[in-house]
Amino acid sequence: TIAGETDHLTGIERIYEDIGAGMDIIESVPAAIALVELAKTQPMKCAMLAANLGGDTDTIGAMATAICGALHGIEAFPEEHIQRIKQANSIDFAPYAQRLAGYRFA
């Protein structure tokens, strides 16, 4: 299986070749789930793998890394990365996260 790959390069090559990495949902969603498994749910590892996948990298990477982040929480991301994203986007993501969490517990 792809999830059982110990070599990440082989894993992302198999995702690209066997599943595909295109914009169609039939490829992007399974590719994102495969990346989550290949990264063993670790958000930073998942983001790095996704960046090297090819194809619709940004969409697949966003889905896969979001799943990993949801599993591990914000603590899984280095503070310097969080600050860089906040500065680059001029957005405070805390209110969005709080609203999303509110839906979960509603």
103: domain range? 78-106
- Does the annotation list 24 as a binding residue? no
> In the structure, what pLDDT confidence band is assigned to residue 105 with cuts at 50, 70 and 90?
confident
Judged against a pLDDT cut of 70, whether residue 68 lies above it is answered with: yes
Residue 63 and residue 38 in one domain: yes
- Does the annotation list 59 as a binding residue? yes
Residue 38 and residue 88 in one domain: no
Neighbours of 13 (CB within 10 A): 16
CA distance 51 to 49: 5
Q: How many domains does the chain have?
A: 2
79-83 mean pLDDT: 92
Give the position of tokens 């709080």: 98
Q: Is the dihedral of CA 91, 94, 97, 98 positive or negative?
A: negative
CA distance 59 to 15: 15
- Does the annotation list 56 as a binding residue? yes
Evaluate whether 37 touches 2 at the Cβ level (below 8 Å). Answer: yes
Query: Tens digits of per-residue pLDDT, 21-61?
Result: 999 999 999 999 999 999 999 999 999 999 999 999 999 99
Residue 21 and residue 49 in one domain: yes
Residue 10 and residue 47 in one domain: yes
> In the structure, what pLDDT confidence band is assigned to residue 3 with cuts at 50, 70 and 90?
low
Residue 59 and residue 82 in one domain: no
